[in-house]
Amino acid sequence: MKKNMVVLGIIALAIGAVIVFFNCNYSKQYRNFDNEMRSRLKTVNENTDYCSADEINQLPTCLKDFCTSINLAGTKKHNVLHCLFKNADFVFNEKKGMNIQMDYDLWIFADNPLREAFCKSSIMGIPFEGIDYFDQEKRTGGMKGYIAKLFQLFDKEVPNMERTMYITLLAESAMLNPSFLFSEYIEYQEIDSTKCFTKITCNGISGEGYFTFDKERGILCYESSQRQEPEVEDGKTIPVGWRCEGGNFRNRNEFKIPSYCKVTKIYPDREVVYFDAEDYELILEK
């Protein structure tokens, strides 16, 4: 009997230790990611320039109207965007109906464009962590996934990841660090007063899309047919478009920022909002 009680006690302690470990803030993967981002931050030069009215007036009409509406003129330009999204709704697997909430730690470096991110969530009570990464020396990148803070589930290299990264960071920067719209990496062509063609080129790799700005509703969108890889459904390969949207811009210390950020996959027969966040902390540095 005593032996059984000892065994049960050990099991209970082990289960308790696992529960505590799952729920504590410590994560080796996140610590490594955060250290890497902060080490890179130290290498970035301070941007001493400010956004000017002349620069804004040289943009296509839709982006000029957008920058005017958020009071961008006269604000400091920043080389680093750090954004902490909290409890964002995320579609983990549309076909299986797996929707989760996650914290998403986003870093974008504007000087030598780079985007990386770390997500923290749980699946059936077990911690899940994911990393969007890009190696600028090897010029390859993808996604890594970890379960229970210890075990790597996958390390998937994404085709055309460099192009995907540039398109994504352009859309996100426009809404969260809009001085990036003046970047030497971007070319514009006005379509009409509400829409413009945009091409970002870095290291010989280009990504294209369209900005639209709805002045009446105060909504900025960036849409691209190059962001997502084609998917296979019912044995058929189908194209997938992509849209990033921010709206209801509100006052901040420097300029107005969106009350929500929403990202959508566009299929021929439907649209799937797979990232939707309203609660976030924006930190602009350098």
**SS3 per residue for the chain:** CHHHHHHHHHHHHHHHHHHHHHHCCCCHHHHHHHHHHHHHHHHCCCCCCECCHHHHHCCCHHHHHHHHHCCCCCCECCCEEEEEEEEEEEEEECCCCEEEEEEEEEEEECCCCEEEEEEEEEECCEEEEEEEEEECCCCEEEEEEEECCCEEEEEEECCCHHHHHHHHHHHHHHHHCHHHHHCCCEEEEEEECCEEEEEEEECCEEEEEEEEEECCCCEEEEEECCCCCCEEECCEEECCEEEEEEECCECCCCCCECCEEEEEEECCCCEEEEEEECCEEEEEEC
- The reported pLDDT for the residue numbered 139 is 94
**pLDDT digits over 103-113, tens only?**
999 999 999 99
Under-50 pLDDT residues of the chain? 5-22, 24
Residues 274, 264 contacting (CB under 8 angstroms): yes
How many whole angstroms separate alpha carbon 268 and alpha carbon 239?
A: 7
User: What percentage of the chain carries pLDDT values higher than 70?
Assistant: 91
- The reported pLDDT for the residue numbered 1 is 58
- The reported pLDDT for the residue numbered 149 is 83
